[in-house]
Structure 1
Amino acid sequence: MSSNSVVEWDETVDVLVVGSGGAALTGAYSAAARGLDTLVVEKTEYFGGTTAYAGACLWLPGNQAQARAGVEDSADLARAYFRSLVGDSTPHEVQDAYLDGAGPTVEFLERSELLRFEYRPFPDYYPGPGRFDAGRGVFPVALERPEGEQPLLDAVRPPAWSERLGVPAPEGALEDGRALIGRLLLALEEAGGRARSRTAFTGLVQDEDGRVVGAEVRDAEGRTVFIRARRGVLLAAGGYERDAELRRAWGNGPGADWTMGPEGGGTGDALRAAQGLGAATSLLGESWWCPSVLFPDGGAAFALGFRGGVFVDAEGRRFANECLSYDRMGRAMIAAGAGDAPERPVWWVWDARHGEEPPGIVLVPVDRESFEAAGVWHSADSVEALAEAIGVPVEGLAATVKTFNEYAGNGHDPEFGRGDDPYDRFFAGEGEEGAPNPCLLPLSSGAFHAVRMVLGDLGTKGGLVTDVDARVLREDGSAIDGLYAVGNTAANVTGAVYPGPGAPIGTGMVFGYRAAGRMAGA
């Protein structure tokens, strides 16, 4: 739709926000707190998007929550680290807008008594200048439910395991990503903003001069509604992780089945609409990658924090340091051509010293019986028998285990350096008594187990090209007036790198805050 001359507006606001994850709600609250009439529309029945599934560590360097914990950080320290990784792959002025805006974003949010953050250790993901071995991330403080009816909190998306297993969300306090979403929703409401679920964005409206002046949505009753936005429209509807057609067209990974993006969202609607107005795009082949456990239904669940076992490819060989941070491990899978297609399997192999459960964190609990019935979990009394069960060469897996056990005895992995980095050791803890390297424990105690692993993602990270204030840009670098994009709807400032825990949500929050400031004239 190119002109508002034929549009009869059903509603008028200052700011319309499409989506309800951490980036969207930070932008919405930041606008409402500045006195702008703000409305959030969410396509699904729940608020929170993928943020609600997250542990919600936030990579926001140099903020006051860190300072309260005695962590001495700054935008400049983070800049040295960030620049060493991202380099010139994204504009330096946009990188600086993120890094310099992280502290002010937290300060602004914490002016509300409803928004509180705390520092917890979680290492940066790469070695380099300015790296924090203990991490620089902050987390939302758990949210105790206020007394009385809380329709907004009841509408926060359940945890991933709850939705996947079809069981009720836990009662009591909201934690992690759900705490962030709940706090932002309550703060938005207190500031006078509103949020509507089951309201699907269907298009943008421009005036005769090309300014975006509103949007078309479909409400819960299926009616078409035109909402005028006097100050701007903020697109924060996630990426295109659930759209198999777009992922194929842009060469983005193995497809939509193995993403952690919630069903019903992440279909690229906002991205398509902006492209229709001439918006530029970038990084369309990129995602926030992660190794994932393959489930019997063909889906997959994010796994991290590996404490034991090895990953092997179709030849029964290791191909990477299994303790790498999840995006780095995902990229190692891509480089090795492993786990990114059914014909290129990866198996996570461990032994009885770790028990029957996989020795790590799987976001959705596994059910061994159904996994075995589906052929994605196998157990055997010997490495050789396990190799036959999972269909890899017996000599290959046997040689891998023998070599790995030698590394465990020496405390050093000369092939991949497992256990050499502070991130590797973060989840391993002290390890076993007498073990020279807590990340290298031998596979020597039958029974032996293997579960199938695939290349998953936490969402796509390519999208609309934006400037320092999240304004959507055309190919010639000019801004589409009135249109903003943040979170996974925008091409991420980190480029092809995942620098530390909470970069996806943290970058989105900062640019949501900056977009709101621009719309408010701050």
Structure 2
Amino acid sequence: MTPVEARSPLRLGASIGDFIKTVQLAVLRPLWAMIRGKELAATGLALVARLLHTNLCLGTKFWTDAGLNQLLTSPAGDVVGALVERDGKVLRVQAKRGVILAAGGFARNPEMREQYLQKPTQTEWSLTAPEDRGDAIRAAMDVGADIALMKHAWWMPCLIDNGKPMLDVYARSFPHSIIVDQSGRRYFNESECYCDAGSNMLARNGETPSIHSWLILDSRHRRKYMLGQLLPGLTPRSSITSGFLYKGSTLGGLANQIGVDEHQLQETVNRFNKFALDGVDQDFRRGLNPYNKTFSDPSHRPNPNLGTIERGPFYAVKIYPGDIGTKGGLVTDERARVLNRQGQSIKGLYATGNTTASVFGSRYPGSGGTLGPGMTFGYIAATDLAK
């Protein structure tokens, strides 16, 4: 499945082409794979599957559910192994050449989030694995490793349904939608990069309450596009009674339900609707750059990201500054060696991925911004160790 194909299921109600492509992806391809006795993997999962398959073919041993307790050091301070907890036992693992830490960040560690990340912050907003608790970072700090960029994360606006966070890359970017803070005002380009969107939510909260913000939709958005796990055209009553989705026959009625000033929200929508009709967002230029158009509806004119909000019923859903990982971590050099607080490398200790401070600093170049550096510096670390 290509990135272009992956967008069709998210807007399957927008055009016959998107509907046909969705049937092909969701029904025909899995059916053909089942007939051949195969299992399909796509996008990031396919990358991991390929790497895992290659390692298994080479005889690489994997330990799952094995937590890092501590790094072992020699009297000289070199890292020579680790204490690992597995099956209820603490095992001493000696390293012949060194240790490479590639264990993610600390997005699911509430204490570290509270200590380092911008506020407010909640582990419930993170889309990372439950095990992403910063064990490797803390173990390295215990042997003198330096850290950087700890207040930053790979921000990802998220929706929360029954306690489960869901990333929101597309719904906020499609036509017939806006995001407002709790005063009822727009404050950023809803179609911008998710990392920037999360940063804007946090920055806005220092001026006006914006956590949570509100994603406002009209009936055409619900008819055409995915929203979280809700298919286009299907809005079950349970999604409303659960508190995930708010519904109003009028915009004013919806504003009263969610506690947003009715007149301010109407004013915001009226201004936005003029932009949508003209095709130019005079406030935040939504839909006017190539990145915005990546997450849009090409069948919608004149601007594939802008659509008026005027046909009821209207909907609102809470949106939070979630994340897909933390950006801060161990400081490394060009050889992926972990550095101590004096800027010197710790012999025998290497790191890559979200365990390290991002090579991109506080910025985000786009999708794959963690995968590329993670694989590159993993290769560099292994090559350096093998010398």
TM-score tier by shorter-chain length is 0.7 to 0.9
Q: How does 1:245-260 map to 2 (within 5 A)?
A: 245-253=111-119, 254-260=121-127
The aligned amino acid for 1:505 is L
CA distance in 2, matches of 1:204, 1:339: 43
CA distance in 2, matches of 1:365, 1:446: 18
1:472 equivalent in alignment to 2:338:
yes
Deviation at 1:513, TM superposition (A): 0.7
Q: Is the 8 A contact 1:431 1:437 kept in 2?
A: no
Q: How does 1:336-347 map to 2 (within 5 A)?
A: 336-337=204-205, 344-347=211-214
Q: Which residue of 2 aligns with 1:228?
A: 94
Of the candidates 312, 321, 325, which is equivalent to residue 446 of structure 1? 312
Of the candidates 203, 206, 209, which is equivalent to residue 335 of structure 1? 203
Deviation per CA, 1:201-229, whole angstroms, max 9, x where unpaired?
A: 11111111111111111112x11111111
Q: How does 1:347-386 map to 2 (within 5 A)?
A: 347-355=214-222, 359=225, 362=228, 368-386=236-254
CA distance in 1, matches of 2:44, 2:122: 25
Deviation at 1:334, TM superposition (A): 1.4
The aligned amino acid for 2:241 is A
Distance 1:517 1:339, change over 3 A: farther
Of the candidates 149, 156, 173, which is equivalent to residue 283 of structure 1? 149
Q: Is the 8 A contact 2:118 2:202 kept in 1?
A: no
Question: Over aligned residues, Cα RMSD in angstroms?
Answer: 2.7
Q: Which residue of 2 aligns with 1:292?
A: 158
Q: Is the 8 A contact 2:183 2:208 kept in 1?
A: no
Of the candidates 382, 385, 393, which is equivalent to residue 261 of structure 2? 393
Distance 1:229 1:365, change over 3 A: farther
Q: Secondary structure at the match of 2:299?
A: coil
Q: Is the 8 A contact 1:470 1:512 kept in 2?
A: yes
Deviation per CA, 1:178-207, whole angstroms, max 9, x where unpaired?
A: 211111111112223111112111111111
1:219 equivalent in alignment to 2:86:
yes
CA distance in 2, matches of 1:476, 1:361: 49
Deviation per CA, 1:224-245, whole angstroms, max 9, x where unpaired?
A: 1111111111111111100011
Deviation per CA, 1:448-500, whole angstroms, max 9, x where unpaired?
A: 11111011000101000001111110111111100111111110101110012
Q: Which residue of 1 aligns with 2:166?
A: 301
Of the candidates 374, 377, 386, which is equivalent to residue 508 of structure 1? 374
Q: Secondary structure at the match of 1:304?
A: coil
1:210 equivalent in alignment to 2:86:
no
CA distance in 2, matches of 1:388, 1:355: 21
The aligned amino acid for 1:213 is V
Deviation per CA, 1:49-104, whole angstroms, max 9, x where unpaired?
A: xxxxxx998xxxxxxxxxxxxxxxxxxxxxxxxxxxxxxxxxxxxxxxxxxxxxxx
Distance 1:176 1:462, change over 3 A: same
Deviation at 1:412, TM superposition (A): 0.6
- Normalised TM-score (structure 1): 0.64
Q: Is the 8 A contact 1:204 1:215 kept in 2?
A: yes
Of the candidates 314, 317, 320, which is equivalent to residue 182 of structure 2? 314
Deviation at 1:360, TM superposition (A): 5.2
The aligned amino acid for 2:166 is A
The aligned amino acid for 1:451 is V
CA distance in 2, matches of 1:120, 1:446: 30
The aligned amino acid for 2:367 is P
Q: Which residue of 1 aligns with 2:19?
A: none
CA distance in 2, matches of 1:360, 1:310: 15
Structure 1: segments with no counterpart, 5+ residues: 1-54, 58-118, 123-141, 149-170
Distance 1:339 1:218, change over 3 A: farther
Count of residue correspondences: 355
Q: Secondary structure at the match of 1:257?
A: helix
Q: Secondary structure at the match of 1:480?
A: strand
CA distance in 1, matches of 2:243, 2:2: 33
Q: Is the 8 A contact 1:474 1:480 kept in 2?
A: yes
Deviation at 1:255, TM superposition (A): 2.1
CA distance in 2, matches of 1:275, 1:514: 22
Identity %: 35
Distance 1:244 1:213, change over 3 A: same
CA distance in 1, matches of 2:90, 2:208: 40
1:172 equivalent in alignment to 2:5:
no
CA distance in 1, matches of 2:360, 2:6: 21
1:423 equivalent in alignment to 2:288:
no
Distance 1:339 1:448, change over 3 A: farther
Q: Secondary structure at the match of 2:157?
A: strand
Q: Secondary structure at the match of 1:231?
A: coil
The aligned amino acid for 2:145 is A
Distance 1:251 1:482, change over 3 A: same
Distance 1:317 1:380, change over 3 A: same
Of the candidates 244, 253, 257, which is equivalent to residue 110 of structure 2? 244
The aligned amino acid for 2:188 is A
The aligned amino acid for 2:193 is S
Distance 1:489 1:252, change over 3 A: farther
Structure 2: segments with no counterpart, 5+ residues: 8-29
Deviation at 1:338, TM superposition (A): 8.0
Q: Secondary structure at the match of 2:167?
A: strand
- Normalised TM-score (structure 2): 0.85
Distance 1:337 1:413, change over 3 A: same
CA distance in 2, matches of 1:420, 1:193: 48
Deviation at 1:268, TM superposition (A): 0.9
Q: Which residue of 2 aligns with 1:22?
A: none
Deviation at 1:381, TM superposition (A): 1.2
Q: Is the 8 A contact 2:287 2:305 kept in 1?
A: yes
